[in-house]
Amino acid sequence: MKKVALFTLFSSLIFAKVHYAKVEPYQRVTISSSVSGLVTDANLSYEGRYIANRRVIHIDDKIDIINLKDTQESIRIFENMVTINMDIAKSLEQSLARQKSYYERLSKLSTTSKSQKDNAFVAYSGAKSQYLSIKEKILSLKKQILDLRLQEARLADSIEKKSITLNDKYLYRLLIREGEFVTPAKPLAIVDDVSKAKLVLYLDSDELVDIESKSIYLDDKKSDYKIAKIWSVSDDKFISSYKVEIDIDKPKDRFSKLIKVEFK
């Protein structure tokens, strides 16, 4: 039995299939525009470079900035109007309380004429209408402030989205040029996450048997890496193979070099 086990182990090591995989960036994404506007800056000198924290694309936002400042000023004005009207409401509330008290006291007196009672009721009703009117005005002003705050948020969001800044990313390619007019969903740039790397292989179904229990050898050296993903559906192009990804540390020199990969 020991001889059989040793032979099986020896055979698996000898006949392990050899694969070669390219060291790829951990993730590649295409950044698309979510706004419309004229491209005022597309810095081609940043292509093919690792960008720490720089703006690489700018879309015209002059009108948005003006509208944002005007909206913020309108909010301040409306807030002041709310404060003023709340002070008026307090005064009217006090007046209403006095008119109500006077009317209720007068209406109980049998010695008071009907015309006096009617006049007191009219004064009380007028004070109540004024008070309710100012309360309604305050609510209307607050609603307008909410609408303006929504407009402020949309403008701030639009301004932010018109400046494409990369932070710790690799700019693979710019897809637009200065002077172009872009619309939502227009591709702007291809960006790589090079904080780490990955190897992509396409394996036959028989190679997947117990593969996660095997060690991964890179350029004939045993590594501590593990398989990150295994696709359970065969690939569109390699119809008899299954895609496998291995996450690895980023290379010390360059991406895109070929590495020998074995599972033993």
At 66-91, the pLDDT tens digits run: 999 999 999 999 999 999 999 999 99
| Coil/strand/helix, residue 1 | coil
Structural tokens at position 167 = 């932070």
Tell me the CA distances in angstroms from 193 to 19, 49, 115, 202, 231, one per residue in order.
24, 12, 85, 22, 22
CATH of domain 12-60+165-263: 2.40.50.100
pLDDT at 5: 39
Phi, psi of 43 (to 5 degrees): -80, 95
Q: Tell which residue, 76, 69, 79, has the closest CA to residue 156.
A: 69
Q: Sketch the domain layout of the chain as residue ranges.
A: 12-60+165-263, 62-161
DSSP summary character for residue 23: E
Nearest-5° Cα angle at 143, 140 to 146 = 155
Q: Is the pLDDT of residue 229 over 60?
A: yes
| Coil/strand/helix, residue 112 | coil
pTM: 0.75
Could you give the CA distance from residue 246 to residue 251 in angstroms, rounded to a whole number? 14
What percentage of residues in the chain have a pLDDT greater than 90? 75
Instruction: Note whether 59 and 221 are within 8 A (CB).
Output: no
Instruction: Note whether 30 and 189 are within 8 A (CB).
Output: yes
At 88-109, the pLDDT tens digits run: 999 999 999 998 888 888 888 8
Could you give the CA distance from residue 152 to residue 66 in angstroms, rounded to a whole number? 11
What percentage of residues in the chain have a pLDDT greater than 70? 94
Could you give the CA distance from residue 30 to residue 173 in angstroms, rounded to a whole number? 9
DSSP summary character for residue 240: T
